[in-house]
Amino acid sequence: MSNDSIINMWEDYRKINPNTPKEYESWAFGDSKEMADELARLVLEGTKTATASNYTLYEFEKEPLPYVGLHNIILDGNGEAVAILETTSVGVVSFDEVTEEHAYVEGEGDRTLKYWREVHEPFFKKEFENINQDFDYKIPVVCERFKLRYKK
């Protein structure tokens, strides 16, 4: 994806951080405009400092996993750049081994593991349906932490 807001944000960030790597990813959280807006808002507030993604999709789409030092330009529901995050840690655990701590730093809902499971299970099930695979509680989940480095 390439749009002016992404390019402009990255150029502005690099002016004040010239030693930043040249590569970055740009993406929005979730699978809807509303989810992208809500989760971006939590990032901008400093509440959301982690995310979880479906490991199987990285394999299916032949995409590399996120890595420490990766810079991510976060988009809102309209595809506009709103923040730059830097990945600080990445781990892979099964769905049923995601921790209370990780659920809390994801910053969603009441920040409990119970809530995390209630919203991530149907989200991951939908992703698996799209690739004709089945969800179970042992699916690998990429747990990523990040720092907010720049915002609009």
d(CA 17, CA 149) in angstroms, rounded, equals 10
Q: Which residue has the tokens 């989940």?
A: 141
Q: What is the CATH number of the domain that holds 55?
A: 3.10.400.10
- At position 141, the amino acid (one-letter code) is V
pLDDT at 152: 86
Whole domain around residue 112: which residue ranges?
4-151
User: What pTM was estimated for this model as a whole?
Assistant: 0.93
Instruction: Indicate the number of domains in the chain.
Output: 1
d(CA 51, CA 114) in angstroms, rounded, equals 16
Residues in Cβ contact with 24 at an 8 Å cutoff, skipping those fewer than 6 apart? 10, 70, 71, 72, 73, 84
Q: Are 81 and 152 in contact (CB under 8 A)?
A: yes
pLDDT tens digit at each of 152 positions of the chain: 448 999 999 999 999 999 999 999 999 999 999 999 999 999 999 999 999 999 999 999 999 999 999 999 999 999 999 999 999 999 999 999 999 999 999 999 999 999 999 999 999 999 999 999 999 999 999 999 999 999 98
Strand partners, 74: 27, 83
pLDDT at 1: 43
